[in-house]
Structure 1
Amino acid sequence: MILSRRVVLAGLALSGTKAPALAQAAPEPQLIPVELIENALSLPSAVRLGHPHGDVIMVEYFDYNCPWCKRSAQALPDLLKAEPELSYVLVNFAVLSPQSVAATRAALAYLRLYGPERYLPLHLALFSLRGTVDGPRALAAAERLGGDTKRMTELADSETTTGWMKDAFATGNDLGLVATPSFLIGTEAYIGGMSLEQKRDAIARARG
């Protein structure tokens, strides 16, 4: 069963993937070519939240074992409430450990079965767990939300799920994302942790 064995996709072991602690200043924005942003938005694993046709699109690349991604997830409901015109896109970017890869497999299996409409509760549940989030723990969290364990295990171990993860890694690599979390806001990338206020400032910047 893929959820319990140490499997890492080729190329996922990036150096320097740990984000610095949240500082007073937000990461410096970096201009991103539009076609690379379009590639990220076209990922089959991308989970769209918030406004379906928002005036600003914000993409977050995250890892379920990244402590600063946990802070981002905790603030996500407040961000969506404060920014009703925002389209928010989640991209699983399992780069920190084999456990992250296995957890992402379980999460993507749940996404494939139940769609983006049911994904946010799982996302928040995984980030509410203490300690390392691995495949079995992610699978158990998904089961508590009504997920079919047998079907999720089958899908987690499928070539389609592997392909989804490879595609997400490829787009993150093309974008030069060397830390989790990383954000695309409008046409700019912010690599590293951001507070809720910093995100809202960046969204306002994107609106011009």
Structure 2
Amino acid sequence: MTIHRRSFLHLSALAGVSLLAAAGPALSQEVDVDAILNDPEAPTAGNPKGDVTIVAFLDYNCPYCRKTAPDLERIVKTDGKIRLVYKDWPILSESSVHGAQLALGAKYQGRYGAAHKALMSIKSRGTTAEEMQAAIKKAGIDMARLKADLTTHGTKISALLKRNLAQAEALGINGTPAYLIGPFRTTTLDYEGFKQVVADARAAQEGR
């Protein structure tokens, strides 16, 4: 698998400032980069003090998201200095929304990672809500707790999904997967592709 497309994001705010950003075509909305990188409700993984951040916009029904998920997990683990921010962006079907809600609900019992991996491991295309629930249950998620958390935190989860949608639109992203890696935006990658863009991101940051 190769890098399909990569563009430079004029996001000097990836160091922590909000600004009007350009990502490929001119944007019609203002991009709050701090909100993208540091939304307190967005699940994160990897090194919280990492020198490179990967922001991953994903849909649980996206076959390319599923295909690259193991390589994304691998680069975060092997590198050791990457902070990963998950942006659940369910745009492909109603069951995609259900999957995102399940994963984000599992976050409240500290099991977002397990739920995310279970959903990304489903092999069938056009996964149904029932298949997603079965995968979550098989991963050892407390289903009674999940149901309660979805009720208690449903408004927060819906608000987060709306913010993710608004951020993707502001950035001009038009499909999944989409990865912001340091100052770059790219699409489908394999392990070597992730490794190269992370190295390029570090080089770009050092040369700022």
If the TM-score is normalised by the length of the shorter chain, which range does it land in? 0.7 to 0.9
Identity between Structure 1 and Structure 2 (%):
28
Q: Give, in whole Å, the separation in 1 of the partners of 2:38 and 2:3.
A: 31
Give, as a single letter, the amino acid of the residue that structure 1 aligns with 2:100. Answer: T
Q: Report the CA distance between 1:154 and its aligned residue.
A: 4.2
Q: How many residues are aligned here?
A: 182
Is the alpha carbon distance of 1:69 and 1:142 closer, same or farther for their aligned partners in structure 2, counting shifts above 3 Å?
same
Q: CA RMSD in A?
A: 1.9
Q: Report the CA distance between 1:197 and its aligned residue.
A: 1.0
Which of 128, 136, 147 is residue 130 of structure 2 equivalent to?
136
Q: Report the CA distance between 1:173 and its aligned residue.
A: 1.2
Q: Give, in whole Å, the separation in 2 of the partners of 1:200 and 1:74.
A: 13
Which of 174, 189, 204 is residue 194 of structure 1 equivalent to?
189
Q: Report the CA distance between 1:169 and its aligned residue.
A: 0.8
Q: Report the counterpart of residue 175 of structure 1 in structure 2.
A: 171
- Structure 1 unaligned residues grouped into runs of 5+: 1-21
- Structure 2 unaligned residues grouped into runs of 5+: 19-31, 204-208
Q: Give, in whole Å, the separation in 2 of the partners of 1:28 and 1:105.
A: 29
Q: Report the CA distance between 1:95 and its aligned residue.
A: 0.7
Asked whether the 8 Å contact 1:40–1:171 carries over to 2, the reply is yes
- Structure 1 residue runs of 4+, over 6 Å off? none
Moved more, 76-85 or 86-95: 76-85
Q: Report the counterpart of residue 121 of structure 1 in structure 2.
A: 114
Asked whether the 8 Å contact 1:155–1:161 carries over to 2, the reply is no
Q: Give, in whole Å, the separation in 1 of the partners of 2:159 and 2:34.
A: 18
Q: Give, in whole Å, the separation in 2 of the partners of 1:164 and 1:89.
A: 13
Give, as a single letter, the amino acid of the residue that structure 2 aligns with 1:62. Answer: L
Q: Which structure's relative contact order is higher, taking Cα pairs within 8 Å and 6+ residues apart? A: 1
Q: Report the counterpart of residue 108 of structure 1 in structure 2.
A: 104
Q: Give, in whole Å, the separation in 1 of the partners of 2:194 and 2:128.
A: 28
Q: Report the counterpart of residue 4 of structure 1 in structure 2.
A: none
2:8 aligned with 1:30:
yes
